[in-house]
Amino acid sequence: MKLRLLYFLFFTPICLFSQVTFVKDTIQLQGDSVVVTATRSERKLSNVTVPVTIINSKSIQQIGALRLTDILKEQPGLTMTSGFGAGVQLQGLNPDYTIILINGEPLVGRTAGVLDLNRIALGNIKKIEIVKGPSSSLYGSEAMAGVINIITDGTTKIPLQASIRYGTYKTIDAGVNQAVSSKSIFYQGYYNYYSTDGYSIRPSSASRVTTPIHRFASNQQFKYNLSSSTNIQVGVRFTNEQIKNDISVTNGGTTIHSNGEEKNTDYNISSTLNHRFSNFLKTSFRSYVTQYNSTQNLLTISGAPYIDVLDHLFNRIENQTDWIVNKKLTAIIGGGTVMEGVKSSRYDSEKVRKTNANQYAFSQWEWMPNTKFIFIGGVRFDHNQTYASAWSPKVSMLYKINKQHKVRLSIGEGFKAPDFRQLYLDFTNAAAGAYSVFGTAQAQKVIGQLNTLGQIGTLYNNYYQLKALQPEYATGANLSWEFEPNAKNFLSVQLFRNDIRNLIEVQQVGAYITGAQIYSYLNIGRAFTTGLEIEAKRQISNTFSISAAYQYLETGDKDQIAQIKSGIVYTRDANGLSRRLNLSEYVGLPNNSKHKAQLKFNYSNQNGLFGNLRALYRSKWAVNNTNGNEVYDNGDSFAKGYIALHFALGKDYVNGFGLQVGCDNILNYIDAIHLPNLPGRTFFTTLKYQIPQKHKL
């Protein structure tokens, strides 16, 4: 075996790494940039078999985006959600189902499944890669709707850059970035400070939708080249934020103030040892530690303190080996182990960290029979300590019909592991009817104990069905066609379908003798999302370009559709009398808009002047099941569709200075209830300086 390997190492004549050539950003619309997220290895965008979107640092800067939310909300097919921080919805799937990576390593610290994307500052980001469709075959849990990978700038020499921005609501953002390197050592440091006074868009309320916040983030990267074939990289990221909560409740003419503070800290340390055995074989060992701690200290009306703590610690050791088997075949083989734990005041004891261990192995094979076809097949196996194991296969292909037309097809499995809350939650709401929610890891034990104490009134059938939770699964298919007649025009049409099964849902499993409900989690739901995405870009002149995108989305809960078909779902007619609901009145899953569209105008000239105007449209979406029939239909509450219009204008001067002004939400669209994260019209000014370089990049 070893000999055979050596044979490949030394005698396979063609170096396939030469395929992978780094291409600098050109003025071409689809500059053939390098993608790492799609295959866990560097590939040209034109050779990738799955749908990928790349956002480069230039477009981040030109729209004046500060946080990850700012840029993602302007991407076709992505929708921001606003419960528990700003999450992202991809292909109609909730934020729980998209994994967020920084340089390939996952971010943790989700509240109710949502990772607040405002945590991530964009100052030293080189690019953001978005892979749509299930990608668990490479990334495991959470990569069910897709992957968002934030790649920090690893450019070896960055002259000192500094920027400061001031905007509406006393929003300040200041950043410093620099990279220095010698032959063998590279260092990059980035520091960011952000603060805002927050804002209130509810007229009768003194409490602020976005509360006053101070954030400090720092990012350090070290790279040490031991030799030309071996290097060591260490990246440290630290974010600290303080949020001041002032909650005022006015009731019957009396206003009661309560206040408190929320502190979130978050660090990530990643170390990588890369070694290249030959041009055909390289390996990397990665170790990653991250911890997210969120502590909420509130003084309630009665003066009693209320403390809510969430602490998530995640450790991972991983190896990935890339092997070029021959001219037509390349392979990736990898595996690793994860140890993670969560402490929360909503579990039985906040002192004890609930843990889970996970071992996994994955492999991916890429076959290029000729210049027109690329086939990729991969599979990953995740073995877990606290819930059922998961297999995630995926196949994908690319067919280059000719220079202008490309077709991509991918079918894969995605999964999302049950999260700690679903396993360990031990929560009794004393205020609202004393209901309880127990995670499945201990539901039967805890409820059994309560039963022996004579506190349980009834146990439902599904109590006896409680068992180790299984992951939620999705099968996703993506088919896309790309047409690029020349360097100035681009059109793509993409169809997608995701079938989700085993969805974990909260279910009442019994009741106390007082009648108060007891809930736990069961794998019961089935749903689908399907739709169409169209993107078009056109370079009108050397300076002026225009881009447009549209997404059509259909979603639905399969069990609810079955219930509607069998005639057991009701609604009311114009006279208020009950009648059966028609399937045509069903609107699918909440928070999903059927239509989304965007239109962007972009100007940028040789003298450093740039400007853009972006219009983003989202059609109405169901928010609340007002009529109580448990399905979302035309008789329920909807948030109105709206258009957000943004504008930015700037100039970069030869002497290193840059100036930018902008206005977000020009139309001043406000929907305090359904869009708390959208303030009214805001303005900003940014001043930046970069030590001029002798030669331009």
| Smallest separation, CB 627 to other proteins (Å) | 6
Give the shortest CB-556-to-other proteins separation in angstroms: 20
**Burial degree of 241 (CB within 10 A; 0-12, 13-18, 19+):** buried
What's the one-letter identity of residue 87? G
* Residues counted in the chain: 697
Centre a 10 Å sphere on the Cβ of residue 169 and count the other Cβ atoms it contains.
16
State which residue, 242 or 563, has the beta carbon closest to other proteins: 563
Q: In angstroms, give the least distance from the CB of 252 to other proteins.
A: 4
CA pair distance 376, 313, nearest whole angstrom: 34
Cα 459 off chain centre by:
38
Q: Which of the ranges 35-43, 313-321, 435-443, 565-573 carries the binding residues for other proteins, by CB under 8 A?
A: 565-573
Nearest CA to 273 out of 238, 237, 321, 313 is that of 321
Site string for other proteins, 236-265 (x = CB under 8 A): ---------------xxxx-----------
What string marks each residue from 76 to 115 as x (binds other proteins by CB under 8 A) or -?
Answer: ----------------------------------------
The number of residues that bind other proteins (CB under 8 A) is 23
Sign of the alpha-carbon torsion through 419, 420, 426, 430: negative
Question: CB burial class (10 A; 0-12, 13-18, 19+) of residue 359?
Answer: middle
From 128, 116, 121, 25, select the one nearest 74 (Cα to Cα): 128
Q: How far is the CB of 434 from other proteins (least distance, A)?
A: 13
Q: Which is nearest to 269 in space by CA: 309, 217, 314, 334?
A: 314
User: Which residue, 356 or 520, is less far from other proteins as judged by CB?
Assistant: 520
Does position 571 bind other proteins by CB under 8 A?
yes
Residue 113 to residue 136: CA distance in whole angstroms: 17
Strands 489-512 and 472-486: antiparallel
Shortest approach of other proteins to residue 580 CB, angstroms? 7
The span from the CA of 523 to the CA of 521, in Å, is: 7
Residue with tokens 């009108």: 540
* Complete DSSP assignment for 505-550: EEEEEEEETTS-EEEEEEEEEEEEEEEEEEEEEEE-SSSEEEEEEE
Please report, as residue ranges, which positions from 607 to 626 form the binding site for other proteins (by CB under 8 A). Answer: 624, 626
Q: At its nearest, how many Å lie between other proteins and the CB of residue 167?
A: 30
Q: What is the CA radius of gyration of the chain?
A: 26
Restricted to residues 412-451, the positions that interact with other proteins (CB under 8 A) are none
The 331-370 site mask, x for binding other proteins (CB under 8 A), equals ----------------------------------------
The CB-of-446 to other proteins minimum distance in angstroms stands at 24
Q: Is 305 in the site for other proteins (CB under 8 A)?
A: no
Going by their DSSP bridges, the two strands 578-580 and 570-572 should be labelled as antiparallel
Q: For 299-400, where are the alpha helices, taking DSSP H only?
A: none
Residue from the set 19, 258, 637, 677 that interacts with other proteins by CB under 8 A = 637
Task: Please tell me whether residue 3 binds other proteins under the rule CB under 8 A.
Answer: no
Residues 33-52 interacting with other proteins (rule: CB under 8 A) = none
Choosing from 405, 458, 464, 515, the residue that interacts with other proteins (CB under 8 A) is 515
Q: Residues 587, 619: contact at Cβ < 8 Å? A: no
Nearest distance, CB of residue 628 and other proteins, angstroms: 3
Among 327, 445, 565, 572, binds other proteins (CB under 8 A): 572
- Binding track, positions 199-228, relative to other proteins; x by CB under 8 A: ------------------------------
Q: What is the DSSP letter of 441?
A: H
Nearer to other proteins, 8 or 570 (CB): 570
Nearest approach, Cβ of residue 572 and other proteins (Å): 5
Q: Count CA atoms within 13 Å of residue 177 on its CB side.
A: 24
Q: Which of 304, 576, 606, 697 binds other proteins (CB under 8 A)?
A: 576
Nearer to other proteins, 15 or 256 (CB): 256
Which of the stretches 67-75, 373-381, 469-477, 574-582 binds other proteins when contact is defined by CB under 8 A?
574-582
Binding window for other proteins (CB under 8 A); candidates: 19-27, 43-51, 404-412, 578-586: 578-586
Binding other proteins (rule: CB under 8 A), the pick from 578, 582, 668, 693 is 578
Residue with tokens 């101070």: 214
Q: What are phi and psi of 543, to 5 degrees?
A: -110, -20
CB 498 within 8 A of CB 588: no
Q: Which position among 35, 102, 125, 569 is part of the footprint of other proteins (CB under 8 A)?
A: 569
Binding-site ranges for other proteins (CB under 8 A): 251-254, 515, 568-572, 575-580, 624, 626-629, 637, 673
